[in-house]
C-alpha cells in the first residue's frame, strides 16, 4: 500500500475470540512503522469479526470516511484502467481474470494490456455471473480473452487497438530479453551488488511452526545496522503458497522456507516471475546467509595510496606512439600498471593509465627516485614541460556491517 502511495485501513479480525488482543496488533504495526489513529498516527483501524459479522458496518463507514477525506475521483469517459485481483486458467474458457476497474469504463470488445500479455475482452460478468456489456469505475468484474494468465496485482489498461497493444507487449518482452529482471536474487547479491540503490533487504518467512517463525523474525531483525537492515515483510506458518508469491513480487522480497516447501503452483509462479525461494532447516544458516546478503548490498569503499611523483623535463614526439614525456622521478617511485594523474600548476588535468614506462630503450616495471625515464599516457597527448605525473594505487575496501 505504501509503495502504491494509497490510503489504507487496518481491519483487525477475530475479535470474537476470548484471547483476542487487538492492541497487540496495533503495537506490531507500530513496530513496523505504521502508526494508527490513537497511537500518534493517521491510519484508521476497525475491529471486526467475520464469523460473527461484528464491526462490518463500522468498516463500511470508515471506508466512506477515508474516501471523503482523500476525495478519489474517477473519469468514467476515460479509457479503462485498474488492477488484476486474481487470475486462473479455466479448461473451457481459457485465461479468466477478476479485475477491479479504477478509472474509465471497461467494455466488452476492448483491447486490454496487462504487463507483457493482453487480449480482447470476449465476455464480462459480475460477481453473480450476470453478463455485462460495460463496467464503470469501482466495479469488480470477471473477464475472458487474455492470451495468458496475468499475475494478481498487475495493472491493466485499455489500448486503442490491437496493433498498439501488440507493439507495447513486444517492446516489453524485448526489453526483458536485453536486460534481465533486476529483482534481487540470492546469487546476485552474494556475488556482490554494487548498484548502491538498495539498502534494505526484504524477506518473507514461512516456517513449520509459529515458534520457528518468531525466532527467525527476531534473529533477522537483530541483524540490522545503520548501514543496511533486513525487513521481514511477512512471517507465517505453513507451506509457501501463491499468495506468498504475490506479496514477494509486490515487495521485491526473498522467500525463506524453514522446514516447509512451496506448492507446485507457487513454484511455477516463482519460476515465471524469477522470485527467489531458499529452503533451510537450521536457523544459524539463515542468519549467516542473510548477513552475507546484507554485506552485498553495501557499496565498497576505496583507499588511495600515494606511490610517487615525476616531473616532465622534455616532451618528445614519436611516430606511431605520440607524445612521450622525458621525466625525472622526484619522489617515491613510478610503477607500470598503477594509476597516474597529470598535474599542471597543482590542478588535475587528466587521470588514467600509462601506455609505456621506459628506462633508456627498455620497458621496465618501475623507476625509483632520482632516476630518469620516459612515460606516455594511454589515449592522451596533452603534456607539457613542467607538468607533474603523480602515481598512486587504489585499493578496494570490502564493506562491513
pLDDT band at 210 (very low <50, low <70, confident <90, very high): confident
- Using only the alpha carbons of the chain, give its radius of gyration: 31
How is residue 96 written as a grid cell?
A: 479468466
Over 80: is that where the pLDDT of 269 sits?
yes
Over 70: is that where the pLDDT of 300 sits?
no
Over 90: is that where the pLDDT of 12 sits?
yes
Determine the average pLDDT of the residues in 81-89: 88
229-237 vs 200-207, strand pairing mode: parallel
pLDDT at 193: 42
Distance CA 56, CA 132 (A): 28
Distance CA 306, CA 297 (A): 29
Determine the average pLDDT of the residues in 249-271: 89
Over 90: is that where the pLDDT of 81 sits?
yes
pLDDT at 192: 43
147: burial class by Cβ within 10 Å (0-12, 13-18, 19+)?
A: middle
Distance CA 80, CA 106 (A): 5
pLDDT band at 213 (very low <50, low <70, confident <90, very high): confident
Distance CA 23, CA 152 (A): 31
pLDDT at 303: 82
Q: In angstroms, what CA-CA distances link 295 with 223, 292, 343?
A: 11, 5, 37
**Separation of CA 229 from chain center:** 14
Distance CA 255, CA 148 (A): 25
Over 90: is that where the pLDDT of 68 sits?
no
Q: What mean pLDDT is reported for the chain?
A: 85
pLDDT band at 3 (very low <50, low <70, confident <90, very high): low
Which has more confidence, 294 or 310? 310
pLDDT at 212: 85
pLDDT band at 106 (very low <50, low <70, confident <90, very high): very high
Give the model confidence (pLDDT) of 171-182 as tens digits: 888 877 665 444
45-47 vs 301-318, strand pairing mode: unpaired
Dihedral sign for Cα 259, 263, 268, 273, please: negative
Determine the average pLDDT of the residues in 229-256: 87
Which has more confidence, 188 or 18? 18
pLDDT at 180: 47
pLDDT at 215: 86
pLDDT at 372: 93
Distance CA 262, CA 257 (A): 8
Q: If residue 362 lies in a helix (H) or strand (E), which one and from where to where?
A: strand 362-363
Determine the average pLDDT of the residues in 206-234: 82
Amino acid at each position: 500500500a505504501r509503495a502504491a502511495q494509497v490510503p489504507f485501513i487496518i481491519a483487525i479480525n477475530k475479535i470474537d475470540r476470548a484471547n483476542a488482543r487487538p492492541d497487540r496488533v496495533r503495537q506490531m504495526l507500530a513496530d513496523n512503522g505504521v502508526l494508527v489513529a490513537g497511537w500518534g498516527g493517521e491510519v484508521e483501524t476497525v475491529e471486526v469479526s467475520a464469523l460473527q459479522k461484528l464491526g462490518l458496518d463500522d468498516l463500511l463507514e470508515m471506508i466512506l470516511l477515508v474516501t471523503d477525506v482523500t476525495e478519489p475521483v474517477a473519469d468514467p469517459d476515460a479509457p479503462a484502467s485498474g488492477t488484476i485481483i486474481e487470475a486462473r486458467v479455466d479448461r473451457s474458457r481459457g485465461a479468466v481474470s477478476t479485475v477491479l476497474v479504477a478509472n474509465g469504463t471497461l467494455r466488452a470488445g476492448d483491447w486490454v494490456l496487462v504487463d507483457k500479455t493482453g487480449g480482447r475482452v470476449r465476455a464480462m460478468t459480475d460477481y453473480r455471473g450476470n453478463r455485462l456489456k460495460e463496467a464503470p469505475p469501482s466495479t469488480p468484474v470477471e473477464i475472458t480473452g487474455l492470451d495468458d494468465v496475468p499475475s494478481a496485482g498487475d495493472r491493466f489498461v485499455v489500448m486503442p487497438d490491437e496493433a498498439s497493444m501488440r507493439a507495447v507487449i513486444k517492446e516489453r518482452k524485448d526489453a526483458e530479453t536485453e536486460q534481465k529482471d533486476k529483482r534481487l536474487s540470492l546469487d546476485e547479491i552474494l556475488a556482490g551488488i554494487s548498484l548502491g540503490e538498495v539498502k534494505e533487504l526484504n524477506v518473507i518467512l514461512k516456517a513449520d511452526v509459529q515458534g520457528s517463525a518468531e525466532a527467525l523474525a527476531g534473529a533477522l531483525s537483530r541483524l540490522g545496522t545503520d548501514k543496511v537492515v533486513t525487513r521481514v515483510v511477512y512471517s507465517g506458518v505453513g507451506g509457501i503458497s501463491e499468495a506468498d508469491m504475490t506479496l514477494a513480487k509486490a515487495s521485491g522480497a526473498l522467500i525463506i522456507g524453514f522446514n516447509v516447501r512451496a506448492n507446485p503452483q507457487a513454484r511455477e509462479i516463482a519460476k515465471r516471475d524469477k522470485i527467489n525461494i531458499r529452503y533451510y532447516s537450521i536457523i544459524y544458516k539463515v542468519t549467516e546467509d542473510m548477513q552475507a546478503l546484507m554485506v552485498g548490498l553495501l557499496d565498497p569503499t576505496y583507499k588511495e595510496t600515494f606511490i610517487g611523483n615525476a616531473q616532465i623535463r622534455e616532451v618528445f614526439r614519436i611516430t606511431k606512439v605520440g607524445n612521450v614525456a622525458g621525466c625525472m622521478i622526484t619522489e617515491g617511485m613510478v610503477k607500470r600498471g598503477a594509476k597516474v594523474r597529470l598535474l599542471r600548476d597543482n590542478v588535475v588535468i587528466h587521470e588514467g593509465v600509462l601506455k609505456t614506462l621506459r628506462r633508456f630503450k627498455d620497458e621496465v616495471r618501475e623507476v625509483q627516485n632520482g632516476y630518469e625515464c620516459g612515460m606516455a599516457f594511454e589515449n592522451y597527448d596533452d603534456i607539457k614541460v613542467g607538468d607533474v605525473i603523480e602515481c598512486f594505487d587504489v585499493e578496494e575496501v570490502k564493506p562491513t556491517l
